Amino acid sequence: MLSIQELKDLKLTELTEAGEGWGDVSKRAYESRRQIDSGVVPKLTDVTKGMSTIAAAVRLGRLSRNYQYIHTECGLVQFALNGLAQELAAPQRKLVNALEDAKHLGFTVHPDGSVSYPAAGPEVAGQKPQGDTVKGTSGFFSGVMADVAAMTNLNPNAAKAQDIADTIGDALAEARRIDAEYANAVRRLKAEQGLDVTENTWADVNRDSQAVHGAADDVFKDDIPTGKSPAERKEWWDGLSQDDKIAYMAAYPDTIGNLDGIPAVARDEANRNYMPQLMGQLSERGGEDAETKLAGLRKIDEQLRAGGQPPMYLLGVGDQGNGRAIVAYGNPDTSRNVSAYVPGLSTKLDEEFAGGTLKRARDTAIGAQEIDPSSASIVWLGYDAPLSVDVMTENDAANGAPAYQSFMGGLAATNDYADPHITAIGHSYGSLTVGTASQQPGGMPDVDDYILLGSPGVGVDRAEDLGVGKQHVFVGAAENDIVTKLPSGGSVVGGVIGGAGGFLVGGPAGALVGAGVGADLGDLGDDDVWFGKDPASEAFGATRFRTEEGPNALTNLTLEAHSNYFDPQKDQMSADSIANIVAGNPGGITPEARR
């Protein structure tokens, strides 16, 4: 427990210097890991093949994970020591000022924090009011009683001494609280001998991180501009030194990795640093939901470690809701053409997402790069897509739209080109999320083109309502994709009302006639779907491109026609059109007549 003398004599610069030392170790580990992952392993696997190469790559992978662990843990020590120094500065200053006041007044401060004051004031019966010793108070009632006693004391020194004693007591209490909080955090930062970095290890790292955050967030996290625009965040990041960037990625990888406006390379590095912690946390938590997310993360992790072309960038990851994952193929900051695809119904962070959903973005990137090599494609699972009957409501789209809007603004803020070509892609229910994002305050002015695939409606009645000219809105709607032919709300209501009226007039036969008439009256142009105007319709006004019909849903009992748009093996025409639009070559699409 800190004493008055210890707090007074504490050299905070020594804590800061110690933090810098740990930060230097963290930085060296970070750089060593990058050298292994980006330099040694790729060159090794490019030059040689065979079992010995695989074994060497495995050992290097283990070394890389050890460096990652060192980078994270030493970075947490750095933040803890720097936070401790900064937080102790205020109570130390308060104590020193109180001691100086006591010395100036001729008071004596005792080791226990009590203050003695001399006799002073008007004489009574030839004597000045006697001096005394007071102690600092804690709590409202004791403080009031002490203040009353000091004010009624004829010795003017009494009130001054009580004020000094209270200040000393407050300073010590604050310093001891801070010291205990940080001591608890720092005591956690230790590793067992014979370190083998496993999911259990990362679960421990996650607990270490939470302990340090609990102590140091008031000092450092407020500096991260989470409430600012993507452009302001980019400016903040660019203004940091490289050492500060490395430190933030070690201590706050989840925040930096998911912050729109932070460059893609930094987000990727931060998320790769955070994902093992998240996996360890989920493994420790257990349960069906955790195991589902963990299976998806493991598969994503495998792909990240395997590398390949186009290179993967992990732009977001988290376990909120049904899980979060944002993955790019190609660097979206250095590419002239960038697309961000929002998946729809039943999408969640699981093995299917890590396989089939990611493949759609990869296929799009490969196709676009064949047209313009400066192209990147992203899959954005930054919201909870509907998993069941909630697909019939707009709630999930409304909840996810602001996050997608922010992400698209971040793409423009970090891109190296002054005017990059950005495409918003929505598939299935994801098209409603994209459309809803375009209607947020401020819209999405950085989006140049929209691609709507298998859409049940986007919440607007005309293509130009998305904020671009209708010639910049493209639609893929397979003939056998029943999602694109869902009846409108008006048609359903009209059919129910008409059927009920027809039954009253003409029995079962009248019900059939009435239902048909009512459905037609509920959708006079027969061009509405569940969430508004059919994007493939003449009334909507978008450019429709040709797709394969796909298997008949009624005879084959499958929704495969709803899922083939991105797949060059199953629907080459659609995949080629998507790639051409993303690459900024809309003349390369194969057009189709609107409905």
Residue 494 banded pLDDT, cuts 50, 70, 90: very low
Rounded to an integer, the average pLDDT of 304-333 is 95
Structure tokens at 88: 């102790």
Residue 136 banded pLDDT, cuts 50, 70, 90: confident
Tens-digit pLDDT profile for residues 283-306: 989 999 999 999 999 999 999 988
d(C-alpha 275, C-alpha 547), whole Å: 38
Residue 262 banded pLDDT, cuts 50, 70, 90: very high
Give the per-residue pLDDT at 511: 38
pLDDT at 542 exceeding the cut of 80: yes
Q: What mean pLDDT, rounded, does the chain reach? A: 87
pLDDT at 566 exceeding the cut of 80: yes
Tens-digit pLDDT profile for residues 507-532: 444 434 333 433 344 444 556 887 88
Rounded to an integer, the average pLDDT of 471-490 is 85
Domain ranges of the chain: 4-188, 294-485+537-588
Helices (H), 439-591: 489-522, 553-556, 572-582
pTM over 0.85: no
Rounded to an integer, the average pLDDT of 342-353 is 95
Please, which residues have CB within 8 angstroms of residue 32's CB and are 6 or more apart in sequence?
A: 67
Give the per-residue pLDDT at 53: 63
d(C-alpha 30, C-alpha 68), whole Å: 7
Which of 355, 374, 375 has the alpha carbon at shortest distance from 365? 375
Tens-digit pLDDT profile for residues 373-412: 999 999 999 999 998 766 788 999 999 999 999 999 999 9
Q: Residue 135: count other Cβ atoms within 10 Å of its Cβ.
A: 18
pLDDT at 592 exceeding the cut of 50: yes
Which of 364, 392, 388 has the alpha carbon at shortest distance from 378? 364
d(C-alpha 221, C-alpha 239), whole Å: 16
d(C-alpha 578, C-alpha 36), whole Å: 36
The correct answer on CATH 3.40.50.1820 for the domain covering 294-485+537-588 is: yes
**Looking only at Cα atoms, what is the longest distance across the chain?**
118
Tens-digit pLDDT profile for residues 443-454: 999 999 999 999
Residue 570 banded pLDDT, cuts 50, 70, 90: very high
Structure tokens at 533: 């105007």
- Which DSSP letter does residue 390 get? G
Q: Which of the given ranges, 51-65, 115-129, 172-186, has the highest pLDDT on average?
A: 172-186
Tens-digit pLDDT profile for residues 138-195: 766 666 666 777 677 878 898 899 999 999 999 999 999 999 999 988 888 877 666 6
Do the beta carbons of residue 357 and residue 349 sit within 8 Å? no
- Which DSSP letter does residue 353 get? I
Give the per-residue pLDDT at 487: 66
d(C-alpha 296, C-alpha 298), whole Å: 5
